[in-house]
């Protein structure tokens, strides 16, 4: 008993171990059952998913459900994506250690943190100022110094920092925003849900010859909205 107590105290410097669920164990199980079990193989992506504390990116009242197999509400009518979707989109974007990545739709900041584990620099754009501020603060608190949260309309991308080695969009436009295609480096991929009611996750790769596009699987994301001055 004494030995076990000592180990528990060492493992929980906050002293809250008796009340804190074992999130690391849940994360491990999430990776095994929801990701490896469904064909996500990229070891770097799996490692990042093992590392990022998803429970910190959901409202405190929902922390207990953070590692379940589904999306969760994060306020302002928005959601944090299902773990499988985050891992799958990350694997499709395939960020490399020296890459500069753009994300559109910061939301909770979770996908940005996963990208931040894998790439040199992540720029993530969020249109709801309160969500941008909250995620900026949380990402800084968790030490993601390589992730920049920008408040604004991601439809137009981030021309000043382009081209990007990958672009991940986590809100669905009716059609692919042309500025995002323009901001892809040669060899880079855009991973984006497209459509109104029936959305399809699409991957567009810029090759030396031009753009190659393919549909991956049906998805359901919140719509990509436009700033009033940009809305058509």
Site residues (vs ligand SAH, CB under 6 A)? 78-81, 104-105, 107-108, 110-111, 125-128, 131, 153-155, 170-171, 222, 224-226
DSSP 64: G
Give the CA radius of gyration of the chain: 18
Residue of 181, 223, 177 lying closest to 198 (CA atoms):
223
Least distance (Å) from ligand SAH to the CB of residue 25? Answer: 22
206 bridge partner residues: 211
Minimum Å distance from CB 207 to ligand SAH?
27
Pick the closer one to ligand SAH by CB: 22 or 227. Answer: 227
Nearer to ligand SAH, 128 or 204 (CB): 128
Nearer to ligand SAH, 9 or 65 (CB): 65
Residues 6+ apart with CB under 8 A from 60: none
Phi, psi of 152 (to 5 degrees): 160, -170
Closest contact distance (angstroms) between CB of 159 and ligand SAH is 14
> What is the Cα–Cα distance from 145 to 155, expressed in whole angstroms?
24
In angstroms, the CA 79 to CA 29 distance is: 22
* Through-space distance between the first and last CA atoms of the chain, rounded to whole angstroms: 67
The answer to whether the CB of 219 falls within 8 A of the CB of 200 is yes
Q: 119 near 96, Cβ under 8 Å? A: yes
Taking the complex as a whole, how short is the minimal distance between the CB of residue 81 and ligand SAH, in angstroms?
5
Task: Considering the complex, state which of residue 35 and residue 131 has its C-beta at the smaller distance from ligand SAH.
Answer: 131
Q: Which residues are catalytic?
A: 81
Cα–Cα dist 191/85, whole Å: 11
Tell me whether residue 100 or residue 110 sits nearer to ligand SAH (CB atom): 110
* Min CB(167)–ligand SAH separation in Å: 12
Collapsed DSSP state (helix, strand, coil) of residue 143? coil
């Amino acid at each position: 008993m004494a030995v076990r107590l000592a180990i528990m105290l060492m493992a929980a410097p906050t002293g809250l171990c008796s009340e804190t669920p074992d999130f690391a164990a849940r994360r491990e199980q999430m990776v095994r059952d929801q990701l490896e079990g469904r064909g996500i193989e990229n070891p770097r992506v799996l490692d990042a998913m093992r590392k990022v504390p998803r429970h910190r990116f959901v409202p405190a009242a929902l922390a207990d459900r953070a590692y379940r197999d589904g999306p969760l509400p994060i306020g302002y009518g928005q959601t944090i994506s299902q773990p499988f979707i985050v891992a799958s989109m990350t694997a499709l974007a395939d960020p490399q250690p020296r890459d500069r990545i753009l994300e559109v739709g910061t939301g909770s900041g979770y996908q940005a943190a996963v990208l931040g584990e894998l790439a040199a620099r992540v720029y993530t754009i969020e249109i709801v100022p309160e969500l941008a501020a909250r995620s900026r603060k949380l990402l800084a608190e968790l030490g993601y110094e390589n992730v920049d949260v920008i408040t604004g309309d991601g439809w137009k991308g981030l021309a000043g920092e382009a081209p990007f080695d990958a672009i991940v969009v986590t809100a669905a436009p009716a059609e692919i925003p042309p500025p995002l295609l323009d901001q892809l480096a040669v060899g880079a991929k855009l991973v984006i849900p497209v459509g109104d009611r029936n959305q399809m996750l699409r991957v567009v790769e810029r090759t030396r010859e031009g753009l190659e596009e393919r549909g991956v699987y049906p998805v359901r994301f919140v719509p990509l909205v436009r700033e009033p001055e940009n809305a058509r």
